[in-house]
Structure 1
Amino acid sequence: MEVGHDALQSYVNKWLAAQPAQRVALAFVDPARHAGHIALAALEQELLAAAYGIREPHVAATKLNWWAEELAGAAQNGGRHPLTQVLFDDERSGRIDSERWLAPVVAAMAQLEEGTAADFGAQLAAASQLHGALAALETAWWFGESASPERAARVAAIAHLLHALRRLDDDAERDRLPLPMTSLARHGLRRDELRRAGAARNAAVRGQLEELTAAWREASRLAGPLSVFRAVESHAGERLARRAAGAAEPLQVLQHARPSGGLATTLAAWQAARRWRRGNAA
């Protein structure tokens, strides 16, 4: 099935705009040979944009319902969307259970009206529903159904919580805040103070970053491989979290961070690509 290059590229561009460090990963994942891998990453970005980027829950639900219908029927009709057309033209799609394709959409709809989590553990568990489903689909696509998605699911959830923290100013009025309730109470922060710099907000953000970096350390001990894209996202996120945690103005460091595309990121992408190729050759 031929899909228009411009139509597909517009979605890939949206993914790269959200994760500019992935341009490094594309040097190790040939778009000509692995179009499905890139289409899956772009599909993840589309689902996340619907789940988090649309402020009206009923509008987001409508969008996600469309994706549920699209993914449920794509195995039979080949898909209507440029991304699903690429994915379901690839033989890998037939080796993945239909429930894996639908699980991220179901999880996204379930969390649309969730409020602020009580503590970091609850926050991580809530994020793991959607991001764990996405990571399980990705792991099956890259490594086969027998590969464990445990580590990928955890780092996907952690990376999301870091991204949410970076948007603290923008999301201060939403029902689900990037900081858990225990953190707000510990630092005496009211909702209307989250947009204003100050010692209390700095301490709360720094505490959240310490929780995230500890979670990244624990995730490194979990089972399962990471795709090249997930490895780059995790590497860049962990480095940024550590750097911001040590800064006088941690939120400012998070919000003004430049895309990570240096030698360390390139090395992380190369190592992940080598593990992926060895796994496929086994």
Structure 2
Amino acid sequence: MAHPADIPAGTLRRTTLAAAVGNTVETYDYAVYGFLATVLAKVFFPASSPTTALLSSFAVFGSAFLARPAGSLVFGPLADRLGRRPALVASLLLMATVSTLIGVLPSTATIGIAAPVLLVLLRFAQGLAAGGEFTTAIIYVAEFAPPHRRGALSSRVQVGSLAGLLIGAVVVLFLNAELTREQMLAWGWRVPFLLALPLGAIGLYLRSRFGETPEFLAARSETSAQDANVNDLRARVLLLVGVSVLHVIGFYMTYTYVQSYLIQLGLSPFTATSVIAFALLIGLF
């Protein structure tokens, strides 16, 4: 059993890259909805006023965040009992499958109220996958990394998240440049979701080559349990929840909602998405 300090630099680089790239794929799937919110509002809420339709579209977007805690309750125990790798593979497989299903989902004009209902259910499933993805990926990298490099290497997972958002923004930017508004409403909005299938296959290939982390293997082989102060654990959990909530609100307000807000102010979808893509590019560095 290798100790993190004894892992070859090449192996550490590959596993860290695989964790980050897998998170890139999953964040892309999760974020595309935000960049297409104004289009999806017309596809799934055509009878509402523009403002109501957009609010309804973002309410569906928010349903995935409500599912994130449930995702942590599903994938957290899975990662602790079966290993980090199975949890990461399962979360990516769920995300890619659900995103593909959104891409083939009939519109409200075709199947009526069932369309937004199914959209909410699929977005909820995306939230379950996201709830098990980001933190598990960071844990995976941290448990592989030597103690003195954990911060630096774990931050690459966040770089992977920004890269996923950037790829989603570029795909939507390209579609806005090449397609008319009518084409985007008719079928163009489906393209980014359908791209989840090949991107997910890439991520699954990379994650199937993962090894399990040294710390997880060591913990599984231990026979004695360590006593923990329950009250102290609860306080730490609440603190982490508070920090995470603030982080996620700021993150998605900046990188998804602002795009729709700029469109509402009168900027074209191409210009608004370009602004976000530039911000994401800066964020990578």
Relative to the length of structure 2, the TM-score reads: 0.31
Higher relative contact order (CA 8 A, sep 6+): 2
Relative to the length of structure 1, the TM-score reads: 0.31
**Could you say which structure has the higher helix fraction?**
2
